[in-house]
């Protein structure tokens, strides 16, 4: 079993101040996650491509490093949460990449949503350097990141997962070891497939009620506690009723995740017709310049076909 640098035991890992954490990616999700690690007592060194995230992290007590490699040099555990597969690879193996700073015995945890195949490749390259990797993508959105209640799906060796568990417990409430490296990303893609199709169901039921002359708010009240209940109905449908399309999760990021899911399905010679449909419906919004809006804006594609606009009061 690979130890953390300094031969820290599982029991000693619980003492947060003894584990130096590097954190790269201070966006909507990463910034509050880094703040939660700091609040839990972990010393955190950060790097980000833009200054606003760095300044906010410094205000929470983080230390800044000049590059990914510099972050890695000062860390026992390095965490990344960036946009896509090429971004993780660049952070690790690009100029001033973190891989050159990680010491044998360090642990790399990627909490981005990226390709399972790329994840397995990165893990193999890091293993040659004596570095263990976990893929631990998250679900729960910005709200879960801020409250520390994320769902975390972890791929990797069980022993490494258990050693990293205190960090995960600072970030989330549901932590599930789902299998070997790459399995975390596969489970996250399953999550995105289910979420995308639930978004379509939410959009269609709202538009159906509106078109039929029923108050969509009353419809939601009636169905949200029954067998059709979903996170989308409870959390995003009320925002649709208020015509609030501000992003909790952006369409362009949802599209990236659906592309990953469809690519994984193609590798497995698997049909995902519902996922493909939602992906195409989101394309219509991207063509209209809405790629940075929240995913609840999917309802607008259904509204356009129906010739109605969903609002409270019907």
User: Which residues have a catalytic role annotated?
Assistant: 188
How far apart CA 186 and CA 176 sit, in angstroms, is 13
Radius of gyration of the chain (CA): 21
**What's the burial of 227, exposed, middle or buried (CB within 10 Å: 0-12/13-18/19+)?**
exposed
Name the nearest CA neighbour of 304 among 288, 312, 115. 288
Q: Is 137 left (phi over 0), alpha (psi -120 to 50) or beta?
A: beta
Q: What whole-number distance in Å separates Cα of residue 169 and Cα of residue 183?
A: 20
- Spatial distance between the Cα atoms of 314 and 312, rounded to a whole number of angstroms: 6
Cα–Cα distance, 302 to 278 (Å, whole number): 11
Alpha-helical runs (H) found in the chain = 10-13, 30-39, 51-59, 68-73, 85-93, 116-127, 141-147, 158-171, 183-211, 216-223, 231-235, 237-241, 251-267, 273-287, 299-306
Rounded to whole angstroms, how far apart are CA atoms 131 and 151? Answer: 25
């Amino acid at each position: 079993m690979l130890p953390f640098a300094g031969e820290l035991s599982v029991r000693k890992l619980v003492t947060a101040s003894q584990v130096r954490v590097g954190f790269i990616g201070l966006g909507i999700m990463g910034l509050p996650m880094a703040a939660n690690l700091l609040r839990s007592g972990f010393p955190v060194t950060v790097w980000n491509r833009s200054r606003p995230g760095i300044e906010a992290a410094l205000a929470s007590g983080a230390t800044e490093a000049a590059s990914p490699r510099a972050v890695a040099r000062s860390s026992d555990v390095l965490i990344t949460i960036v946009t896509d597969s090429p971004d993780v690879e660049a952070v690790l193996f690009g100029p001033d990449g973190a891989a050159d700073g990680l010491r044998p015995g360090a642990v790399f945890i990627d909490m981005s949503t990226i390709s399972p195949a790329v994840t397995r490749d990165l893990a193999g390259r890091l293993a040659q350097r004596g570095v263990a990797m976990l893929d631990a993508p998250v679900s729960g959105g910005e709200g879960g990141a801020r409250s520390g209640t994320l769902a975390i799906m972890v791929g990797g060796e069980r022993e490494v997962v258990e050693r990293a568990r205190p960090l995960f417990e600072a970030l989330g409430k549901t932590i599930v070891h789902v299998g070997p490296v790459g399995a975390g990303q596969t489970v996250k893609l399953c999550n995105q497939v289910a979420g995308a199709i639930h978004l379509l169901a939410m959009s269609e039921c709202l538009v159906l009620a509106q078109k039929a002359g029923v108050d969509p708010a009353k419809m939601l009240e009636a169905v949200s506690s029954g067998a059709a209940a979903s996170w989308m109905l409870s959390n995003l449908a009320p925002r649709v009723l208020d015509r609030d399309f501000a992003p909790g999760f952006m369409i362009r990021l949802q599209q990236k995740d659906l592309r990953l899911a469809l690519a994984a399905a193609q590798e497995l010679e698997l049909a995902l017709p519902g996922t493909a449909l939602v992906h195409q419906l989101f394309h219509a919004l991207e063509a209209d310049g809405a790629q940075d809006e929240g995913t609840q804006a999917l309802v607008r594609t259904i509204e356009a076909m129906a010739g109605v606009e969903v609002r409270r009061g019907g």
